[in-house]
Structure 1
């Protein structure tokens, strides 16, 4: 989440890697990403919804029928309007609408809602600006879009992870944030304050503490750590001058040091391992806080565990951090159960659209 709390796109899983309910692919290796319609499904006018998940590198879209069955999906380039601008983002989103409708053999006027979960769309003002931009772009192209909703990419990830049911997602990549949805449908948030005020347990957090461990060793204030040699080997940062110049003058990617910290921790480096333990404690606190809110605000006699999904390269993949985190949560927060996301963020966006029809 470098640059602020809204940047979560890079933390999310790839849509195609996740299950979509009712999906039947037309064949492996289909470059267009087409999915043949489920046999017997009846297409009805105004009963389609398109969900999109867009960020700085790509935008994934799905179109579903009134049953929530995915009729088709497509992927195009970036749609982070905070970087490429509203018009260029609208061009990508509009083209995805066209492709989805073409594959599903329907017209855009038969799409009841288009829901876009986008990087940088965490604030209402930005959501409105992008939604109005897409509507205006579509109108200029003589495309009828009945309803356009723009949400944050984290919000649609929450919907997709549990197919609209209650649960918690913990996101940890460059930045960190957690979202939870209770039985009443209320969404709660913990973290996401950005690297200056928060992002505990994130890649930036690990990288910063890793750099600090190196500076302490170089000063003679701290213990020896393998990170010092690793930093010098990978980046050529081996003394006070080179480190200060890189961090303060050359816009050094602090989060890029996180993999070095994880590698050193895996090799039993005491300083690196302590940093990972600290990250585990901080991320666990995110989950604990949300689980308490959701438990209190849900039914009193909750028998089943609250599902929790990890999202983001640091914890969605198998690393020393994800392993330690899962173990720590299992022991300290028995009310939750770590599970894999059920569906993609794009499908989560489509689910939100189905509720707004």
Structure 2
């Protein structure tokens, strides 16, 4: 039986969606990370081999009957990564159509059912991606936490730490963020934050502090409100750049908001959506109801 596969290739895990050619689900699986920036070529190649092997074993199908496969992963649409991933998938025995794209396009298709529109991601990192009906693609941001990721959970968390130190020094007005951060990390002194930031914490650890900014904002903290407003402004500017580049100003297209910041901080999602629709009233702001692996499978079906 012919089938398609969609893979959402993350930096900590990957999700696989296997479907019949009529779109009906065969199975869903979770496997190891398949993001080249997080793991490197050899590890990603092995993870793909393991994931596809699990799918064949669980479904009883053969890899030769895979009519099409789509892998969406951060940065995978760049030429070098694109070539490497195609080679890895072919090395697993896939002879059907292979589509490699970034991690945003499957989210767009999962939410809108179309390969046209905009995706804005604000999770640990941030990214804006747009695609028009002619296939023109535009991307803004997504440069990583050391260079960019403005408006992301990491950005919000790091700004909270910086504000806590500035408040502790007396350079800024008092904020509840310092107390909240120390309590969350079970620290007694502000100095304990230094080895945490420089030696221990990863991107996700810093991004996890974004929830404290929301907590402080809900309690009326002005510093927290400023941090969240700055994040909204950054995400809006990224989005506006996409809209202008693809001439979506007067088009009825979907703008998909995805990621933990949009999902867990209502103020950010609400005010971001308001800013977009106030300037571009025809744009429909939505959140995805299906995951990116489902969207990748839909892209695979559309490629046939």
TM surpasses 0.5: yes
CA distance in 2, matches of 1:186, 1:244: 45
Aligned to 2:293: 346
8 Å contact from structure 2 (residues 17, 297) kept in 1: no
Instruction: Choose the corresponding residue for 2:110, options 157, 160, 167.
Output: 160
Q: 2-side partners of 1:100 and 1:335: how far apart?
A: 44
Q: Does 1:314 align with 2:261?
A: yes
1:116 has 2:71 as partner: yes
User: 1:340 and 1:220 mapped to 2: Cα distance?
Assistant: 40
Structure 1 match to 2:244: 292
Matches within 5 A, 1:24-173: 48-55=3-10, 56-65=12-21, 67=22, 69-80=23-34, 82=36, 83=39, 85-98=43-56, 102=60, 107-119=62-74, 121-138=76-93, 145-173=95-123
**Unmatched 5+ stretches in structure 1:** 1-44, 139-143
CA distance in 2, matches of 1:231, 1:109: 53
- 1:122-150 CA deviation, whole Å, 9 max, x = no partner? 43322322332232243xxxxx6334333
C-alpha displacement of 1:354: 3.2
The SS at the match of 2:145 is helix
> Conserved in 2, the CA contact under 8 Å of 1:307 and 1:339?
yes
Residue 72 of structure 1 and its aligned partner are, at CA, apart by: 1.5
Partner residue, 1:258:
210
Q: Is the 8 A contact 1:175 1:194 kept in 2?
A: yes
Work out which of the residue numbers 160, 163, 171 in structure 2 matches 1:221: 171
Aligned length, in residue pairs: 297
Q: 1:87-136 CA deviation, whole Å, 9 max, x = no partner?
A: 4312333225415753xxx6433332222223563433223223322322
Any gaps of 5 or more consecutive residues in structure 2?
Answer: none
Moved more, 199-208 or 84-93: 84-93
**In structure 1, C-alpha distance between the alignment counterparts of 2:276 and 2:127, rounded to whole Å:** 16
* Paired residues of 1:101 and 1:108 also in contact (CA < 8 A): no
TM-score (norm 2): 0.86
How far off its partner does 1:81 sit? 5.0
Structure 1 residues 339 and 194, CA gap change in structure 2 (3 angstroms): same
Do 2:69 and 2:97's aligned partners in 1 also have CA atoms closer than 8 Å? Answer: yes
**Which of 104, 124, 133 is equivalent to 1:183?**
133
Task: Please list the CA deviations of residues 285-334 of structure 1 after superposition, one character each: whole Å capped at 9, or x if unmatched.
Answer: 111111122226x9xxx5x5321111001103452222222233232332
